[in-house]
A and B are shown apart, each in its own frame.
Chain A
Amino acid sequence: AQKITQTQPGMFVQEKEAVTLDCTYDTSDPSYGLFWYKQPSSGEMIFLIYQGSYDQQNATEGRYSLNFQKARKSANLVISASQLGDSAMYFCAMREGGGRGSTLGRLYFGRGTQLTVWP
């Protein structure tokens, strides 16, 4: 089974509007971390936001917030006030085991969502 599922191959949003990118995950480990990365056409993966499985509140980083629904195993990324520079591929990823302080370095990635912001 896929560890991370991103069901939206592509999304379109108008500038200044909010957009939600979906991510569901599958793990039996009670301790895990969820990440979102942005990959522009240049190829570099840019870290956006992190949510730990034991975190009580949804993570926020500037215009990015993570809608964490543990029972549903979903970790959707919300981008508020989209900008043209937000156009990129967005990846959801998960790391199992240990949460913060884990020594395991493996990330499982979804297939990504290509976001296009139009003026």
Chain B
Amino acid sequence: KAGVTQTPRYLIKTRGQQVTLSCSPISGHRSVSWYQQTPGQGLQFLFEYFSETQRNKGNFPGRFSGRQFSNSRSEMNVSTLELGDSALYLCASSLSAKTDTQYFGPGTRLTVL
């Protein structure tokens, strides 16, 4: 069974631009969570989606948004990029109700210049 895939793997943007990151969960997984990882703040939860609904949101500004499609694939969008948004963005998927384990993708490394 294929794991969680994230595209693109690397991205370079400039301040003020916007970016969209994509995540395809493990087949059959309906929950997708997003995390931001930086050296200074560590791993921080962004949001979680289940059946196209955002169920949980971390403490990030409104510039960070996401959505989930009917096939469980998810996208996150960051508008008006700032230098501090440079990070590794990790997506994780899990089954809906019978497991607690989240399986992560390889991440998208975003660099904002």
Residues of A at the B interface (CB closer than 8 Å) are 33, 35, 37, 42-47, 50, 52, 91, 93, 95, 99-112
Contact = CB atoms under 8 A, between A and B. Distances in A.
A45 to B, nearest CB: 4
B113 interface: no
Provide the main secondary structure of the chain B interface. strand
Contacts of B106: 42-44
Interface residues of B, number: 28
Nearest to B43: A109
B42 A105 contact: no
B21 interface: no
A93 B37 CA distance: 14
Smallest CB-CB A-B distances: 9 pairs: A105-B48, A45-B104, A109-B43, A33-B100, A44-B106, A105-B33, A43-B107, A106-B45, A101-B97
Contact of A107 (B50, B98, B99, B102): B102
A52 B104 CA distance: 20
